[in-house]
Amino acid sequence: MTKITVGLVDDHDLFRKSLALMVQSFVGYQVIVDAANGKALQEKLTVAPDIMLIDVEMPVMNGRATAQWLRQAHPRMKLVALSMNDQEGVVLQMIRAGCCSYLLKDISPEELERALHEVYHRNYYNSDLRQQNLATLMLNPEAGDKLSDKERVFLEWVCSELTYEQIARKMGVTVRTVDGYRESLFAKWGVGSRTGLALEAVRRGVVRL
């Protein structure tokens, strides 16, 4: 059986080596490269893996720069951010840099394996997506795609680093109106956070990075 190949970029040696052992324990997965930062990865990468797990905060060449380079140099590689940093702005930066999922390092091994499976087979994993809606979305990808022009504009700004108050000013509406767009989209897409909205907007092609 051909194995799904994985690469790891993280500046904490113990975590990186432990993570490699964990991924290797998943049936059908093989770690073929690991590096302490993006610059070291550039020097070591000879065969591109199917999936690259990327830490956000690294010296020399951080996660955002690493993801941007990989997106250009290996556009078919699937990029996943893996970090302890859950700040909204940082998450959005990594999504815009080309990551198709953003995972926190305290997730369970079971969720990590599920995320790798979804990323490899569906090019996407959104941990915020409510599981009861996942089957519906897979069977009917157009479910929830009926958006107003204002909602589409709002989603473009959601994928930026602007606050909701700044988005309201850009759109020339009140913060309460922006809150209405957000809550409507939460309900349509079965998510509950800005990160979830951003990932869904990219997956559905509403926003192109």
What does the pLDDT average to over 138-155?
A: 72
What does the pLDDT average to over 47-60?
A: 95
pLDDT of amino acid 130: 53
Tell me the C-alpha distance between 123 and 113, whole Å.
Answer: 14
What does the pLDDT average to over 44-65?
A: 95
More confident residue, 133 or 21: 21
pLDDT at 139 over 50: no
Tell me the C-alpha distance between 115 and 131, whole Å.
Answer: 13
Contacts of 116 (CB under 8 A, 6+ apart): 4, 6, 23, 26, 29, 51, 80
Beta-strand runs (E) in 36-77: 51-54
* b/e per residue 161-196 (b: at least 16 CB within 10 A): eeeeeebbeebebeeeebeebbeebbebbbbebbbb
pLDDT of amino acid 132: 43
The DSSP code for 172 is T
The 10s digit of each residue's pLDDT in 178-193 is 999 999 998 888 888 8
What domains are defined for the chain?
4-125 (3.40.50.2300), 138-203 (1.10.10.10)
pLDDT at 145 over 90: no
Supply the mean pLDDT for the chain. Answer: 88
* Contact predicate 83/63, CB 8 Å: yes
**What's the per-residue H, E or C state across 179-203?**
HHHHHHHHHHHCCCCHHHHHHHHHH
**pLDDT bucket at 142, cuts 50 / 70 / 90:** low
pLDDT of amino acid 195: 86
